[in-house]
A and B are shown apart, each in its own frame.
Chain A
Amino acid sequence: MSNFLNKSDLNRKDVDDIVSDTLKNCDDGELYLEDTKSESILLDDNKIKSSNYSSDLGFGFRAISNEVVAYSHSNEISKESLRNSSQNLKSTLKSSKGTYNHEIPKTNNKFYEDINPIEQKSLDSKLEVLNKVNDYLRKKDSSVKQVTASFSGEQKSIEIIRSGGEALTDVRPLIRFNVSVMLEKNGRKETGVYGIGGRQSYDEYLKNDNWKNVCEEALRIASVNLDSKPAPAGEMKVVLGPGWPAILIHEAIGHGLEGDFNRKKTSAFHNLMGQKVASEGVTIVDDGTIGKRRGSLTIDDEGTPTEKTVLIENGILKNFMQDRLNARLMNTKSTGSGRRENYKHIVLPRMRNTMMMSGQHTQDEMIKSVNRGIFAVSFGGGQVDITSGKFVFNCTEAYEINNGKIGSPIKGATLIGDGPSILKEVSMVGNDMMMDPGIGTCGKAGQGVPVGVAQPSILIDKMTVGGTRL
């Protein structure tokens, strides 16, 4: 655990006094201290292209009065700097007459260990794996023209100091291993990307030469795409594979169920609580408590323990995801969803691991039932317009379905749909629920946070596929 005040001219009592004094007429707020060590090592074009190490230390001081948030952050942890921030917050909220809410739930759970993954594996052995990846892929297939492989790891230590001196701490490890390969054959170039990661040491993910499986998967996706033909354009049936394609759920439903957009009534879901928003059999949760997953957190960035929040139960909208601010203004409780990218950013209600639960059907049944449609197995990113509810995501591996059979692979295409109605088009939910491999980063208001997704295979009766073939 970091001692944040070490080497500063502050002692603990100074800090408690400044925090309590600043927040005395406020409804909520805290001092958030953060120390992040991170590294990234990149192999590209047959060489170790870069090895970077970074250490970032800073604080974010937040005061909330009714709906107004005042925030000030700095990377100088000193008496002068903290007092300047305090002054800045007080001047913004000069007429504040709130009563500080001291209540915050406690937890003894821990969903990952206090490790520093960077220190647990030597630079030499990381370089060795990256070089092996490069050699393996280039030997394996002569059409491999480019290989990029990377490790990134971090340890983020945080401390939250609330008015009255209550302190909450967490140490969060996170790693990611990624391989991207480009093939060239008969003048065509295609890439395939695959990655793994989560909140454990590098070696947990590299057991039994698991890096080979990552290489194989990247290579497989690229090879499939080399034979792809232009995607069809128009409305049709879509079968989504299990696991990572659940970013559909993340974009189509997840963002629209975040507390802030609903308090502000700018989400297409804001007046749908308790109503049917999905087909029967569709249950979606957002869970921060799954051990060692990329989107899991022991406590959120306001100190609230995370939980498994049921968003949609058997088709009915049950809950929004809340941070403390939006929960207070909507007369409910925080769901432990208050997150920030780092100390430079304010807290927002965010997703953790968003998952659709398993149903009864097999993937085979779904494919057989489709006359004309596509089968989407892997995706790049997605995006949503919260207000209109329209969302998109990009296929990186997809196939045509003709008369109940999987046909040729098709080129990457964007799929577009309408969030509040798409889940009503789900006519089969698979029995093969799977988590993603641990690679997701969600962006909102310029802040990226690590998230996870999971789903079984699903059949959507109508979606627009953005290909070029009419």
Chain B
Amino acid sequence: MIKDQEYLKSKALYCLDLAKKLGATDASVTVGNSISETVNFRNKALDESNRSDSLAISIQTFVGKKKSSISSSNLLDENLKTLTEKCIETTKITPEDKYNSLPDQDLLAKEIKELDLYDETHLDNDKKIDYLRELEDTASKDEKIINTESSFSENRGNFILANSDGFCNGYKSSSFTASCVTVAKDENSMERDYEFTSRCHLNDIIKPKNLGNIAAEQTIKKLSPKKIGSDKISLIFDKRIAKGLLSSFASAISSSAIARGTSFLKDKIDQQIFSDTINIFDKPDLVKGLGSQYFDSEGVKSETLKLVEKGFLREYLVDTYNGRKLELKSNGRSGGSTNLYLENGKMSFDELFKINSKNLYITETIGHGTNLVTGDYSVGATGFLIENGEFKHPVNEITIAGNFNDMFKNITLANDLEFKYSVNSPTIMIEGMTVAGK
């Protein structure tokens, strides 16, 4: 059973009281419990079951403008006492930093709107197995599929955040996730692809047959890929890749990167950084949203932000510490973005492929070739060559490269946005990037 609010609260308040008694001028404590149960299948048979029960506490103490923190998984009072003492001791010898403080009291979350982030339904492992069996039966129907691996996991968590300014709140959340990875083989190649679904509520996840079908189809399509020549051609990014570009954008506008001067988007507020059709939102109060939050990890209330308006950058993602440095108020983003999305464009997915006669449709990237200081981007990629709207052949062992400053200004959007992850984008086209191949 997941620990209840009362238990978590008692641990948090115990540490807060103790910290104050030991000389902390301020303190904040987060206590959480998460339980997850996962079942893995491989080639239609049970492969692994995994149950995880984790407790965690983190204590942050302030002595004036000095700050230090400590974390542990051991919630026995005796251990908490030792740790709190150690934390205060360390705080006292840590140098001052004038920006250290708890959040402004008037920014702390007060009213809480119900977002339906917790589903108490428990699915027995046998039921999870039924789901995976149906999934893999579908996924392995085609004889080209030589291996299937799938997984179902049920996760629930509960936490309390308490600080010495009187904030004390927390909430439960849950997620149900299923995934399927398939391997296909023909005389020329072996390829892998996947599909997955994750939702706060069990009833909202994709049906097993659909999940298995999608994974298998996507994998088989990738067989017998060819390498293409180096060229500048129009790239169309599948939604699951486009969301990664959007995540890089979010990292580049985090107040810590801006305050440190290590972002290519520093000093770009109110400047045009995207093409003028682009609007980007971050919405923390999406009902059942995977990235939704009632308040951020410091207890600060958060509202929907229009980060980019008609191509112009309007806001950074601001927390308390970096906000003070930048002379900005926290906008409740100490944990980063919440439900981040690019607003739909006007064109359908098919129409996007008709703008140029030759397109490379990118469905997977590998590598960590994103440099947020310079905006340079270079990653390995696989996908499909599409000419005059027609599928030509799968492509692999190529790289795609460009610089975000140029890429962002050359985006054309499709209108197929769906809320599948916490960061979501419609399919996008970017012109002017370099493909390196043969």
Measuring CB to CB, which residues of chain A are less than 8 angstroms from any residue of chain B? 7, 44-45, 47-58, 67-76, 81, 85, 88, 91-92, 123-124, 127, 145-146, 182, 184, 188-191, 231, 233-235, 264-266, 268, 344, 346, 380-388, 390-394, 411-418, 464-470
Residues of B within 8 A of A383 (CB): 366-368, 380
Residues of B within 8 A of A124 (CB): 93
- Contact assessment for A464 and B399 in the assembled complex, using a CB-CB cutoff below 8 Å: yes
- Contact assessment for B401 and A233 in the assembled complex, using a CB-CB cutoff below 8 Å: yes
Residues of A within 8 A of B70 (CB): 52-54
Q: Among A47, A412, A413, which residue has its beta carbon within 8 angstroms of that of B95?
A: A47
- Contact assessment for A393 and B72 in the assembled complex, using a CB-CB cutoff below 8 Å: no
Chosen A-B contacts, 5 in total, with CB atoms closer than 8 Å, are A7-B78, A74-B54, A127-B95, A189-B264, A417-B397
From 388 to 437 in chain B, residues with beta carbon under 8 angstroms from any chain A beta carbon are 396-403, 433-437
- Contact assessment for A58 and B73 in the assembled complex, using a CB-CB cutoff below 8 Å: yes
Q: How far is the CA of A359 from the CA of B299 in the complex (A)?
A: 59
Known contacts A69-B48, A392-B369, A464-B399; A54/B95 CB under 8 A:
no
- The smallest beta-carbon distance between A367 and chain B, in angstroms, is 22
Among B53, B400, B402, the most chain A Cβ lie within 10 Å of the Cβ of: B53
Residues of A within 8 A of B42 (CB): 67, 264
From 361 to 378 in chain B, residues with beta carbon under 8 angstroms from any chain A beta carbon are 364, 366-369, 371, 373-374, 376, 378
What residue of chain B has the Cβ atom nearest to residue A396's Cβ? B371
Residues of B within 8 A of A85 (CB): 51
Known contacts A233-B401, A414-B399, A417-B397; A467/B97 CB under 8 A:
no
- The smallest beta-carbon distance between B423 and chain A, in angstroms, is 18
Residues of B within 8 A of A146 (CB): 260-262
Q: Among A75, A81, A387, which residue has its beta carbon within 8 angstroms of that of B73?
A: A75
Q: Among B46, B227, B433, B434, which residue has its beta carbon within 8 angstroms of that of A68?
A: B46
Q: How far is the CA of A68 from the CA of B129 in the complex (A)?
A: 13
Residues of B within 8 A of A92 (CB): 46, 49, 125
Known contacts A57-B73, A75-B74, A266-B147; A190/B260 CB under 8 A:
no
- Contact assessment for B382 and A390 in the assembled complex, using a CB-CB cutoff below 8 Å: yes
- Contact assessment for A182 and B376 in the assembled complex, using a CB-CB cutoff below 8 Å: no
Q: How far is the CA of A233 from the CA of B378 in the complex (A)?
A: 11
Residues of B within 8 A of A53 (CB): 68-71, 83, 86-87, 90
Q: How far is the CA of A385 from the CA of B219 in the complex (A)?
A: 13
Q: How far is the CA of A231 from the CA of B402 in the complex (A)?
A: 11
- Contact assessment for B78 and A189 in the assembled complex, using a CB-CB cutoff below 8 Å: no
B30-57 contact mask (Cβ, 8 Å, vs A): 1 or 0: 0000000000001001111111111100
Known contacts A385-B192, A392-B367, A416-B399; A71/B86 CB under 8 A:
no
Among A70, A233, A382, A466, the most chain B Cβ lie within 10 Å of the Cβ of: A466
Q: Among A191, A387, A465, which residue has its beta carbon within 8 angstroms of that of B183?
A: A387
- Contact assessment for A412 and B369 in the assembled complex, using a CB-CB cutoff below 8 Å: yes
- Contact assessment for A190 and B373 in the assembled complex, using a CB-CB cutoff below 8 Å: yes
Residues of A within 8 A of B398 (CB): 416, 464, 466
- Contact assessment for A414 and B49 in the assembled complex, using a CB-CB cutoff below 8 Å: no
Known contacts A52-B69, A414-B369, A416-B380; A266/B95 CB under 8 A:
no
- The smallest beta-carbon distance between B233 and chain A, in angstroms, is 11
Measuring CB to CB, which residues of chain B are less than 8 angstroms from any residue of chain A? 42, 45-55, 67-74, 76, 78-79, 83, 86-87, 90, 93-95, 97, 125, 146-147, 149, 183, 189-192, 225, 227, 230-232, 259-262, 264, 364, 366-369, 371, 373-374, 376, 378-380, 382, 396-403, 433-438
Q: How far is the CA of A92 from the CA of B433 in the complex (A)?
A: 51
Among B260, B368, B369, B438, the most chain A Cβ lie within 10 Å of the Cβ of: B369
Residues of B within 8 A of A385 (CB): 192, 364, 366, 382
- Contact assessment for A71 and B49 in the assembled complex, using a CB-CB cutoff below 8 Å: yes
- Contact assessment for A264 and B147 in the assembled complex, using a CB-CB cutoff below 8 Å: yes
Q: How far is the CA of A68 from the CA of B41 in the complex (A)?
A: 9
- Contact assessment for B262 and A191 in the assembled complex, using a CB-CB cutoff below 8 Å: yes
- The smallest beta-carbon distance between A325 and chain B, in angstroms, is 10
Q: Among B48, B189, B260, which residue has its beta carbon within 8 angstroms of that of A71?
A: B48
Q: How far is the CA of A53 from the CA of B69 in the complex (A)?
A: 7
Known contacts A145-B261, A234-B436, A467-B378; A71/B50 CB under 8 A:
yes
Q: How far is the CA of A416 from the CA of B260 in the complex (A)?
A: 32
- Contact assessment for B366 and A392 in the assembled complex, using a CB-CB cutoff below 8 Å: yes
Residues of A within 8 A of B68 (CB): 50-53
Residues of B within 8 A of A49 (CB): 97
Residues of A within 8 A of B402 (CB): 468
Taking A47-B95, A388-B225, A411-B376 as given, write out 5 further A-B residue pairs in contact, using a Cβ cutoff of 8 Å, ordered by the A residue number.
A53-B69, A55-B83, A81-B53, A182-B262, A234-B438
Q: How far is the CA of A135 from the CA of B317 in the complex (A)?
A: 30
Residues of B within 8 A of A388 (CB): 189-192, 225, 382, 396
- Contact assessment for A235 and B94 in the assembled complex, using a CB-CB cutoff below 8 Å: no
Q: How far is the CA of A234 from the CA of B401 in the complex (A)?
A: 12
Residues of B within 8 A of A69 (CB): 47-49
What residue of chain B has the Cβ atom nearest to residue A77's Cβ? B74
- The smallest beta-carbon distance between B169 and chain A, in angstroms, is 24
- Contact assessment for A414 and B380 in the assembled complex, using a CB-CB cutoff below 8 Å: yes
- Which 9 residue pairs are nearest across A and B when measured between Cβ atoms? A466-B399, A233-B436, A392-B380, A392-B367, A387-B192, A75-B73, A234-B230, A414-B369, A414-B378
- Contact assessment for B378 and A76 in the assembled complex, using a CB-CB cutoff below 8 Å: no
What residue of chain A has the Cβ atom nearest to residue B48's Cβ? A69
What residue of chain B has the Cβ atom nearest to residue A235's Cβ? B438
- The smallest beta-carbon distance between A442 and chain B, in angstroms, is 13
Residues of A within 8 A of B51 (CB): 71-73, 85, 88
Residues of A within 8 A of B436 (CB): 233-234, 416, 464-467
- The smallest beta-carbon distance between B232 and chain A, in angstroms, is 7
Residues of B within 8 A of A346 (CB): 48, 50
- Contact assessment for A470 and B230 in the assembled complex, using a CB-CB cutoff below 8 Å: yes
- The smallest beta-carbon distance between A385 and chain B, in angstroms, is 6
What residue of chain A has the Cβ atom nearest to residue B231's Cβ? A470
- Contact assessment for A189 and B87 in the assembled complex, using a CB-CB cutoff below 8 Å: no
- Contact assessment for A468 and B401 in the assembled complex, using a CB-CB cutoff below 8 Å: yes
Q: How far is the CA of A49 from the CA of B259 in the complex (A)?
A: 13
- Contact assessment for A414 and B379 in the assembled complex, using a CB-CB cutoff below 8 Å: yes
Q: How far is the CA of A45 from the CA of B100 in the complex (A)?
A: 14
- The smallest beta-carbon distance between A408 and chain B, in angstroms, is 16
- The smallest beta-carbon distance between B170 and chain A, in angstroms, is 19
- The smallest beta-carbon distance between A303 and chain B, in angstroms, is 20
What residue of chain A has the Cβ atom nearest to residue B74's Cβ? A57
- The smallest beta-carbon distance between A219 and chain B, in angstroms, is 15
- The smallest beta-carbon distance between B276 and chain A, in angstroms, is 25
- Contact assessment for B50 and A466 in the assembled complex, using a CB-CB cutoff below 8 Å: no
Residues of B within 8 A of A189 (CB): 261-262, 264, 373-374
